[in-house]
A and B are shown apart, each in its own frame.
Chain A
Amino acid sequence: MGYTPEMKELIKRVEATRPERVEKARRGEHFPALTLEERAVVLEKFHPDYQKEGRVALRVGPDKGLVVPQEIARVLESKSMLKHDKVDLSKPDFDYDVLIVGAGGAGSSAALMASQEGLNVLMVTKLRHGDANTMMAEGGIQGATQECDSPFYHYMDTIGGGHFTNQPDLVAALAHDAPLSIAWLESLGMMFNKLPDGRLDVRHFGGSSRKRMHSAGDMTGAEIMRVLRDEVRNRRERITVMEFTPAVEILLDEEGKCGGAILYNMETREFFICRARAVVIATGGNGRLHIKGFATTNHYGATMDGVVMCYRAGVGTTCMPSTQYHPTGVAYPEQNVGLLITEKVRGLGAHVLNIDGEQFCFPLEPRDVESAELIKEATEKKKAVITPTGRFGLWLDSPMIDLLHGEGTVRRELPAKFIQFDRHGIDISKEPMLVYPTLHYQNGGTAINADCETVVPGLFSAGECTGGLHGENRLMGNSLQDVITFGRRAGVSVARYLAKGVVVKKLTLDHVRKFEEELAQAGVENPIVAPILLPDYSTEEVTSRRLAEAVQEAE
Chain B
Amino acid sequence: MSQHDCDCATVQQVATGDRAILPKGAKTIPIYVMGKRYEVPETLTIMKAMEYAGFKFLRGAGCRGGICGACPTVYRKEGDYKLHFGLACQTVVEPNMYLAQIPFYPANRASYDIEAIEPVAESVHALYPELFRCVACNNCTKACPMGVQVLDYISAIKQGDIARAAHLSFDCIQCGLCASRCMGELPQYHIAQLVRRIYGKYIQPKAEHLRKRVQEIESGKYDAMLENLQKMDKAQLEKLYKEREREPDMAPLGTWMPKDTQYL
A binds B: yes
Are A420 and B90 within 8 A (Cβ)?
yes
Against A, the Cβ 8 Å flags (1 = close, 0 = not) of B90-112 are 11100000000000000001011
Tell me which residues across on chain B come within 8 A of A222, comparing CB atoms.
Answer: 67-68, 173
Are A388 and B6 within 8 A (Cβ)?
no
Known: A152-B222, A156-B241. A146 touches B234 (CB 8 A): no
> Does A111 have its Cβ within 8 Å of any Cβ on chain B?
no
Against A, the Cβ 8 Å flags (1 = close, 0 = not) of B1-43 are 1111111111111111111110110000000000000000001
Are B229 and A155 within 8 A (Cβ)?
yes
Quote the shortest CB–CB distance from A223 to chain B (angstroms). Answer: 8
User: In the complex, A172→B217 CA distance in Å?
Assistant: 12
User: In the complex, A187→B62 CA distance in Å?
Assistant: 28
Tell me which residues across on chain A come within 8 A of B242, comparing CB atoms.
Answer: 36
> Does A423 have its Cβ within 8 Å of any Cβ on chain B?
yes
Which stretch of A16-24, A130-138, A305-313, A517-525 is in the interface?
A130-138
Identify which of residues 70-103 in chain B touch chain A, using a CB-to-CB cut-off of 8 Å: 70, 90-92
Tell me which residues across on chain B come within 8 A of A139, comparing CB atoms.
Answer: none
Are A226 and B7 within 8 A (Cβ)?
no
Known: A379-B10, A389-B15. A192 touches B111 (CB 8 A): no
> Does A12 have its Cβ within 8 Å of any Cβ on chain B?
no
Quote the shortest CB–CB distance from A416 to chain B (angstroms). Answer: 6
> Does A175 have its Cβ within 8 Å of any Cβ on chain B?
yes
Identify which of residues 338-393 in chain A touch chain B, using a CB-to-CB cut-off of 8 Å: 338-340, 375, 378-379, 382, 386, 388-392
Tell me which residues across on chain B come within 8 A of A155, comparing CB atoms.
Answer: 226, 229
Are B226 and A152 within 8 A (Cβ)?
yes
Quote the shortest CB–CB distance from B250 to chain A (angstroms). Answer: 7
Which stretch of B129-137, B178-186, B200-208 is in the interface?
B200-208
> Does B58 have its Cβ within 8 Å of any Cβ on chain A?
yes
Identify which of residues 202-244 in chain A touch chain B, using a CB-to-CB cut-off of 8 Å: 202, 204, 208-211, 217, 219, 222-223, 226-227, 230-231, 233-234, 236, 244
Quote the shortest CB–CB distance from A105 to chain B (angstroms). Answer: 13
Known: A191-B166, A535-B18. A147 touches B264 (CB 8 A): yes
> Does A542 have its Cβ within 8 Å of any Cβ on chain B?
yes
| Cβ-defined partner of B196 (8 Å) among A191, A210, A219, A424 | A191
Are A145 and B196 within 8 A (Cβ)?
no
Q: Closest A-chain residue to B87, C-beta based?
A: A423
User: In the complex, A190→B209 CA distance in Å?
Assistant: 17
Against A, the Cβ 8 Å flags (1 = close, 0 = not) of B170-181 are 110110000000
Tell me which residues across on chain B come within 8 A of A149, comparing CB atoms.
Answer: 247, 264
Are B226 and A534 within 8 A (Cβ)?
no
Are B205 and A194 within 8 A (Cβ)?
yes
Contacts between chains A and B (CB distance < 8 A), count: 315
Which stretch of A47-55, A272-280, A492-500 is in the interface?
A47-55
Are B229 and A172 within 8 A (Cβ)?
yes
Are A183 and B226 within 8 A (Cβ)?
no
Against B, the Cβ 8 Å flags (1 = close, 0 = not) of A463-485 are 00000000000000000000000
Quote the shortest CB–CB distance from A369 to chain B (angstroms). Answer: 14
Are A192 and B237 within 8 A (Cβ)?
no
Are B257 and A147 within 8 A (Cβ)?
yes
Are B204 and A176 within 8 A (Cβ)?
no
| Cβ-defined partner of A189 (8 Å) among B201, B211, B246 | B201
Quote the shortest CB–CB distance from B65 to chain A (angstroms). Answer: 5
Are B210 and A54 within 8 A (Cβ)?
no
Tell me which residues across on chain B come within 8 A of A175, comparing CB atoms.
Answer: 222, 226
| Cβ-defined partner of A335 (8 Å) among B1, B10, B92, B230 | B92
Quote the shortest CB–CB distance from B92 to chain A (angstroms). Answer: 6
User: In the complex, A391→B59 CA distance in Å?
Assistant: 30
Are B44 and A231 within 8 A (Cβ)?
no
Identify which of residues 242-257 in chain B touch chain A, using a CB-to-CB cut-off of 8 Å: 242, 244-250, 253-254, 256-257
Tell me which residues across on chain A come within 8 A of B227, comparing CB atoms.
Answer: 172
Q: Closest A-chain residue to B171, C-beta based?
A: A415
> Does B66 have its Cβ within 8 Å of any Cβ on chain A?
yes
User: In the complex, A325→B209 CA distance in Å?
Assistant: 34
Known: A191-B199, A389-B24. A266 touches B67 (CB 8 A): no
Tell me which residues across on chain A come within 8 A of B44, comparing CB atoms.
Answer: 334-335
Are A292 and B205 within 8 A (Cβ)?
no
Tell me which residues across on chain B come within 8 A of A136, comparing CB atoms.
Answer: 63, 65, 67-68
User: In the complex, A542→B40 CA distance in Å?
Assistant: 12
> Does B126 have its Cβ within 8 Å of any Cβ on chain A?
no
Are B225 and A244 within 8 A (Cβ)?
no
Are B247 and A183 within 8 A (Cβ)?
no
Would you mind naming 24 contact pairs between A and B with Cβ atoms under 8 Å apart? A36-B242, A144-B213, A145-B209, A151-B226, A153-B263, A164-B238, A175-B222, A176-B217, A183-B210, A183-B211, A189-B200, A191-B199, A191-B200, A199-B207, A199-B253, A234-B111, A244-B58, A299-B64, A335-B92, A389-B14, A420-B65, A535-B17, A536-B56, A537-B48
**Additional pairs, 10, CB under 8 Å, beyond known A53-B6, A534-B56:** A147-B254, A149-B264, A160-B238, A168-B230, A175-B222, A199-B207, A219-B171, A293-B1, A379-B8, A538-B56
8 A-B pairs with least C-beta separation: A198-B205, A189-B197, A290-B17, A293-B16, A189-B201, A293-B4, A152-B263, A160-B241
